[in-house]
Amino acid sequence: QKEVEQNSGPLSVPEGAIASLNCTYSDRGSQSFFWYRQYSGKSPELIMFIYSNGDKEDGRFTAQLNKASQYVSLLIRDSQPSDSATYLCAAITGGGNKLTFGTGTQLKVEL
Amino acid sequence: DTEVTQTPKHLVMGMTNKKSLKCEQHMGHRAMYWYKQKAKKPPELMFVYSYEKLSINESVPSRFSPECPNSSLLNLHLHALQPEDSALYLCASSQDHYEQYFGPGTRLTVT
């Protein structure tokens, strides 16, 4: 079982819709979770982090964490074509100084 | 400011060459990282420096040699690489191993 799992996609949503990206993790000791956005040919960009159960909102982005279910999600409201990218879920594992990535979900926002 | 800089942006080298990748951050972060990323894969951790000391080496071949001259700089020395080492090499930094901020990367091609 991979430590951090995501569906590879592609996930296609129409412009203006809500995109929902999901991630599960296996290490119950993980406490810190991150979402990175990566455009093709570019480096990952940190867009959200969440450490506590519940929701955390930042602009059009909402991160959700459920430690009991070992589940992290990212909601993107009012999706725009510029949101089309690969979204990487990551968790701190291995005792606290290693960031483990999921394989990423490709999001396509269609006009 | 969350800027991490990397030079060069692109590098082409032969299998007998010696070259170095450079990374710099001025955010006062005490942890710095090297990752390798192949196309359509997530970043793979190579090395972690914490307070200028190597704390993680993910069983990376000795043809890759990291160096941390001071708290702002991180180098990756390359020697006798193989074509399969061609990838995007990413540097990242963080304060206390939480949010990691990536540089733009060096696109390496080994011929």
Segment A7-58, tens digit of pLDDT: 989 999 999 999 999 999 999 889 899 999 999 999 999 999 999 999 999 9
Range with the poorest average pLDDT among A54-58, B37-41, B54-58: B54-58
Please report the residues numbered 58 through 77 in chain B whose beta carbons come closer than 8 angstroms to any beta carbon of chain A.
none
Is A92 within 8 Å of B97 when comparing Cβ atoms?
yes
Residue B76 pLDDT > 60, yes or no? yes
Give chain B's mean pLDDT: 95
- In chain B, the percentage of residues whose pLDDT exceeds 90 is 90
**Whether B98 and A92 lie within 8 Å, measured CB to CB:** yes
Query: What tokens were used for A75?
Result: 């909601």
Contact call for B104 and A42, based on CB within 8 A: yes
Query: Cβ contacts of residue B79 below 8 Å, gap of 6+?
Result: B17, B18, B63, B65
Q: Is the peptide bond before B61 cis (omega within 30 degrees of 0)?
A: no
A33 touches chain B (CB under 8 A): no
Give the E-state strand segments of chain A in sequence order: 4-5, 11-14, 19-25, 33-38, 45-50, 54-58, 61-66, 71-76, 85-93, 98-101, 105-110
| Residue B43 pLDDT exceeds 70 | yes
Cβ-based contacts of A88 with chain B (< 8 Å): 42-43
